[in-house]
Structure 1
Amino acid sequence: MKPLDRISLSSGILLTLTTITAIWHLVMIAQLPTWFGIFIPQGSVRAISLVLAVLLIFITLNNKHSDTDEVHADKVELKWYDALLWLALAVSCGFVVFFNDRVQDYGFYGTLDTFGVIMALCLVIPVLEAVRRKTGIVLPIIILTFVAIAMFQRYLPGVLYGQGYSLERLLYSAMVSNAGVFGMPLGIAVSIVIVFLVFGALMERAGASRWFMDLALCLTGWSRGGPAKAAVLSSAMFGSISGSPSANAATTGVFTIPMMKKVGYKPEFAAGVEAVASTGGMILPPVMGAIAFLMAEWIGRPYVEVVGAALLPAILYFLIVFFSVHFEARRNGIKAIPKADLPNLWLTLKTGWYNVIPIAALVVFLIVLAMPPGMAGIYASLVVFACSFLSKDKNNWLLPMPIILALRDAVMRWLVIVAITAAVGIMIGALELSGVGINVSRFIVDLGGGNLLFTLILVGLVSLIVGMGLDATPAYVTLATLMAPALIRLGVPDIAAHLYVIYWGLASFFTPPTCIAIFVTAPIAGATIWGSGWQAVRLGIAAFLVPIAFALNPALLMQGDDIVAIVHVASTALVGSVLVAAGLRGFAFTMLSMPSRILIAVGGALLIMPVLYAELIGAALALVGLALASLPIPGLAAAAPRREP
């Protein structure tokens, strides 16, 4: 952290712009202008936000490939071609802000004139370049592919066939329609996501992330494989509000991965644990990396219902990871961390207990008081500010400079989300116009032959592939448009269908070949990408099993009034999760032979499935597997693990 008097001119410019951007959004979310009788349309707010975001993207070119989604820039630069692109965007967004009546006229007549086409081009071209700059070429190619499909439908076969639309009609959809650039995804980024990124950044500057890490070590370090369990626990506690699996992995991974290696875990395993645990933060209430708010808006369900449904599956996810690292430690004889090397629990609680208050306050604001998410985030951020002064370490106090730096961190992480949500609006507009999304869902249902299980697997595999190379937000938006309707058509409740595609899409973060979270953790661990990725797939098996289970029986999402059924499926799923972990790691109460591993893992997976006959078969298989493990049958003895030198 730099003292204020030593910050360079470029850094000062960046800090000024990020502070202005953050304050603009906080003021708009708090609706302060309405106190003075000033009303600013939502379209205008989003247009101004987009202009600010793209300017920051273009002036921080030297930081465009930051793996942690965080920028520590000492230099800002605006090249002439970026200046032209940004000026074009500013003119187009200025047209939306200052000539809103004319934009509404376009919406009334359903078409653009020549000037409108020029304004739309000035909007979409800089947006596509901004998202390419922040995410690479994959997402722009996907977007332009769907635009091309909508243009040339009449020449395409099968489910892609349609009447086709002109470029002018597609530009109208991108600029004017409710599904375009200024549609719901960008609205969520502007009115909700940025607040929670500010909340998370303030928590980090107040020392909360390191305190959660110390607390996790206190709670788990005394047991076998403590550092790996601490990685799981700290990612569960802090990952939900970090907003990014890769940022979460980088933040906690620099502490947990070296400790995991020190006590005896292999580098690939350590990298896999951190990647899977960090990805899990995106499915864990109360924030779910802001996906919860986007999903609530998309399906028209209350936020409380979304996070309530997501809670038990998230617990199962982390339970499998937690027991996997425990069984791996037992299997390889990994010892606990010496008590002398662990933080003192009482001292940790005494020095940082106040870090729990902001998260508790956030839960109260969101769930108990049912505040709008944006306002809940603002109030929770104020609680972080107040609580920081309870720290005895003055470095954790949120004085003006740490606040400014926290706003910078939050805004720079937010830029990629703005670019993505604005750009996917182009794709959503094209999909709605062409009907390809509906046709694809019908095709998936027809291909599945009406069989729900086969369709679930098919949708899951497609979701995994589509999610590769995309960040969490665009992956969800794309899958909610293309894949979730196929499950809903087969009778899966909308909340279960959307959570299903979220799980499979997020699994791409740790599944080779485009395992973004692994790309962060493997270098920290000094491990290979592929080795770490395949370890992560085994550790993150819940991302594939649990969604199938709750899609087959929504009671696992705590939906419905049958409390007995909910308790039943929750109990069997919890037991099944432990058995799956044991089978995958090859250890339960003793070393497991391969037949025992297979029987226990398959039995556990069937116990997770909330179908009575599957549970009965699963229980029988697991009991047979455990019996085989306990009996000294010749030829079935498990080989002792190889010890690393």
Structure 2
Amino acid sequence: MEKYDPEAGFRKLKGALYWITLIGLISFSLFQLYTAIFGVLPAQLQRTIHLGFALTLIFLLFPASKKKKEGKPLFQVAWYDMILAVLSIAVGSYWYLFMDDLVMRVGRLTTQDFLIGVLAIILVLEATRRVVGLPITIIAGLFLLYAYMGPYMPGFLEHKGLTIERIVRTMFFTTEGILGTPLAVSSTYIFLFLLFGAFLVKTGVGEYFNDLSIVIAGRRVGGPAKVAIFSSALQGTISGSSVANVVTSGAFTIPMMKRLGYDKNFAGAVEAASSTGGQIMPPVMGAAAFLMVEFIGGGITYWDIAKAAAIPAVLYFAGIWIMTHLEAKRIGLRGLSREEMPETKRVMKQVYLLIPIVVVIVLLMNGVSVTKSALWSIVSAIAVGMLNKKTRMGPKLFFEALADGARTALGVAAATAAAGMIVGVVTVTGVGLKMANGLLELSGGYLIPTLILTMIASLVLGMGSPTTANYVITSTIAAPAILLFGVPDLSAHMFVFYFGIIADITPPVALAAFAAAGVSGGEPIRTGILSSKLAIAAFIIPYIFVISPQLMLIDTTWVEAIWVISTAFVGMIAIGAGMIGYWMRPISWLERIAAVAIGFLLIYPEGMFSAIGLAAFALMLGSQYWLLKKDNTQAPSSPAV
């Protein structure tokens, strides 16, 4: 976990520092709960206090370097990190102490203001590097440099340039930079749902997801792979990280897959593709859904986004399920034995553990605010835990959940603060529209080439970035190009969101695939290639819902929706067969190409294409059945004894 996920590499403190940090984490959670219950503070106060907590705790918990000297584990905090933590407190409390003066000056900075602003930028970049990694830190740094170097930029990227003072003012003394929309969402909705996830883990829901997955899918052909898919889809509800999903659920699914005969690279790929899909699965969607509400605006609700994401997410997991099933049939794998399964009766008796998930979905469906939904979900998680003696939450477990939730939120807070810098530069310089026009010019003004270029940009921008940050970056830089064609806002934002997420399994970076290879002992690049192959739906479906938004239930009836879902699912069977090379029997390359083409026709939600696809699917299915029967008839019989 520490090798592939920077957020997992925190110090194991002892003594007084341990208690100071623990109290800090618990206080962070209590502050967020207080403002959720009694009302959010004014924007600058809510966001700077949230940022101050996060920065202080990051410098106490995360070392400047992950390299450990032989025999000297990083238990204690370096002297310079103590100084950075104190400076973080100063930055986090500055707006609280001087708000009246800052408002009266209306953007005119004193020397003290300027120094605090510069300090805030430096601390955010360094904290992001430590807890999130270099990619987003470099991108944020380059955008700051771009803001200053505008007059020297080539072509359409040229602008008049910003002074250092204006950059500092925009970044920390307005709500367009560090204190912008991304951090606003982190300091409200996202924190509460990460805290909800921590309470679910403490009440045994995370472990129950694994047991339930095994009961549902374990006995089937290639059972362990299907357990990985089902478990990862559920784990995505309580996790905001593809890598974290891989390591937690993959710790038991990957060894099971290998034990039953799956190749180690394929086993790692199944887990990586499934865990990455957890970030696109409603209701939480790696917390990006909450950001999407703010970025799209126009009266769109969280429920609109969750509803639109449902069918594409189901198709994504259906594609992986189908391909793992066909691979298992191709190489003749069995499911788990009865002895390897948990007791079904015991697992079904604990189905009440799913109540918190039902609560959050029902509340959001009925228009309850995201904040109140998260609060009641936390309450329901605690209540459900009380029903079982083993998971009953006493003071110790309660405070552990508060601390774990806050620790999980540190990476998101740093990433959203850094992403806010990018958004601030884009807003002030207008580079977003310039990039959109540049992509449009490069594509010749045609939609499909623009989508391909936007896909490439989103894959590159999303590499190595956490879910929330990569959505902020891709929606700011890449989505405007698609919007110029009059595509619905939700379709354009979901398009870049999908490809930003899929960067986690797309070589050469492919963090989730590398983490899975670390667990499986496989080859990272090979695992990444196989992961991308299994996740083929994620490379196809975004094009479809941009061209024809019915797939996202936009401007469609329930009858049309059922037709779209049915034909798309059948299409995934054909595509899965084409990708694996097996459909009742091994199929040739010509048959594989035909199967993929049929799948495309069926997934595209237009009546004529779907009808042609269904007819072709029926013909190919019939031919497969006839050829299988012919193969069995022509198989040589065993010689008589």
TM-score normalised over the length of structure 2: 0.91
Q: Report the secondary structure of 2:238's partner residue.
A: helix
Among 450, 461, 469, which residue is 1:455 paired with?
450
CA contact (8 A) 2:214 2:341 kept: yes
Q: Report the secondary structure of 2:237's partner residue.
A: helix
Distance 1:45 1:77 in 2: 30
Q: Report the secondary structure of 1:99's partner residue.
A: helix
CA contact (8 A) 2:32 2:187 kept: yes
2:4 alignment partner in structure 1: none
1:195 alignment partner in structure 2: 192
TM-score normalised over the length of structure 1: 0.90
State yes or no: 1:20 paired with 2:19: no
Backbone CA RMSD of aligned residues: 2.4
CA contact (8 A) 2:63 2:77 kept: no
CA contact (8 A) 2:63 2:130 kept: no
Distance 1:332 1:594 in 2: 18
Cα offsets for 1:409-432 (capped at 9, x unmatched): 222121111111111212211111
Change (3 A) 1:312 1:373: same
- Give the 5 Å matches for 1:155-554: 155-300=152-297, 301-350=300-349, 352-368=350-366, 370-391=367-388, 394-554=389-549
Distance 1:383 1:544 in 2: 37
Cα offsets for 1:575-613 (capped at 9, x unmatched): 111211111111222221221112102221232122455
**How far does residue 17 in structure 1 lie from its aligned partner after superposition?**
1.8
CA contact (8 A) 2:64 2:130 kept: no
**How far does residue 64 in structure 1 lie from its aligned partner after superposition?**
7.4
CA contact (8 A) 2:53 2:92 kept: no
Distance 1:484 1:381 in 2: 34
Q: Report the secondary structure of 2:283's partner residue.
A: coil
CA contact (8 A) 1:120 1:171 kept: yes
2:577 alignment partner in structure 1: 582
Q: Structure 1 stretch 226-235 or stretch 611-620: which is displaced more?
A: 611-620
Distance 1:457 1:626 in 2: 32
**How far does residue 629 in structure 1 lie from its aligned partner after superposition?**
4.0
1:572 alignment partner in structure 2: 567
1:46 alignment partner in structure 2: 47
Distance 2:489 2:76 in 1: 46
**How far does residue 483 in structure 1 lie from its aligned partner after superposition?**
0.9
Q: Aligned letter for 2:257?
A: M
CA contact (8 A) 1:388 1:396 kept: yes
1:88 alignment partner in structure 2: 87
CA contact (8 A) 2:264 2:522 kept: yes
Q: Aligned letter for 1:433?
A: V
CA contact (8 A) 2:265 2:530 kept: yes
Distance 2:557 2:574 in 1: 26
2:590 alignment partner in structure 1: 595
CA contact (8 A) 2:53 2:89 kept: no
Cα offsets for 1:314-358 (capped at 9, x unmatched): 1111110111111111111001111222122222111x2221111
Cα offsets for 1:147-206 (capped at 9, x unmatched): 211212112111211111111111111012222111111111111112111111111122
CA contact (8 A) 1:328 1:587 kept: yes
Q: Report the secondary structure of 1:240's partner residue.
A: coil
Distance 2:128 2:521 in 1: 30
**How far does residue 87 in structure 1 lie from its aligned partner after superposition?**
3.1
Distance 2:560 2:443 in 1: 28
Cα offsets for 1:232-257 (capped at 9, x unmatched): 11111221221111112111111111
Cα offsets for 1:113-159 (capped at 9, x unmatched): 43322221121111111111112322222112112112121121112
Distance 2:168 2:511 in 1: 32
Q: Report the secondary structure of 2:236's partner residue.
A: helix
> Which segments of 5 or more consecutive residues in structure 1 lack a partner in the other structure?
1-5, 67-73, 641-645
State yes or no: 1:128 paired with 2:135: no
Cα offsets for 1:417-475 (capped at 9, x unmatched): 11111112122111111111110011112222222122111111111111111111111
Q: Structure 1 stretch 489-498 or stretch 138-147: which is displaced more?
A: 138-147
| Count of residue pairs brought into register by the alignment | 613
Distance 1:111 1:568 in 2: 59
Change (3 A) 1:604 1:65: farther
Distance 1:575 1:181 in 2: 46
CA contact (8 A) 1:240 1:283 kept: no
Q: Aligned letter for 2:59?
A: F
Q: Report the secondary structure of 1:30's partner residue.
A: helix
Distance 2:242 2:590 in 1: 35
Q: Report the secondary structure of 1:414's partner residue.
A: helix
Distance 1:213 1:620 in 2: 39
Q: Aligned letter for 1:209?
A: G
CA contact (8 A) 1:599 1:622 kept: no
> Which segments of 5 or more consecutive residues in structure 2 lack a partner in the other structure?
1-12, 68-72, 636-641
Cα offsets for 1:523-565 (capped at 9, x unmatched): 1111110111111011111111011110111111001144443
Q: Aligned letter for 2:81?
A: D
CA contact (8 A) 2:462 2:500 kept: yes
1:71 alignment partner in structure 2: none
Distance 2:603 2:282 in 1: 21
Distance 1:8 1:92 in 2: 27
Q: Report the secondary structure of 1:589's partner residue.
A: coil
Q: Report the secondary structure of 2:605's partner residue.
A: coil
Q: Report the secondary structure of 1:512's partner residue.
A: coil
Distance 1:623 1:530 in 2: 37
Q: Aligned letter for 1:317?
A: Y
Distance 2:592 2:77 in 1: 58
1:58 alignment partner in structure 2: 59
Q: Aligned letter for 1:361?
A: V
Q: Aligned letter for 1:138?
A: P
Q: Aligned letter for 1:79?
A: A
Distance 1:371 1:423 in 2: 30
Distance 2:75 2:168 in 1: 32
Distance 1:386 1:565 in 2: 40
Change (3 A) 1:366 1:564: closer
CA contact (8 A) 1:460 1:501 kept: yes
Q: Report the secondary structure of 1:559's partner residue.
A: coil
2:5 alignment partner in structure 1: none
Distance 2:143 2:112 in 1: 25
Distance 2:429 2:108 in 1: 16
CA contact (8 A) 1:296 1:302 kept: yes
Change (3 A) 1:231 1:63: farther
Distance 2:354 2:557 in 1: 33
Change (3 A) 1:403 1:64: farther
Change (3 A) 1:141 1:91: same
1:119 alignment partner in structure 2: 116
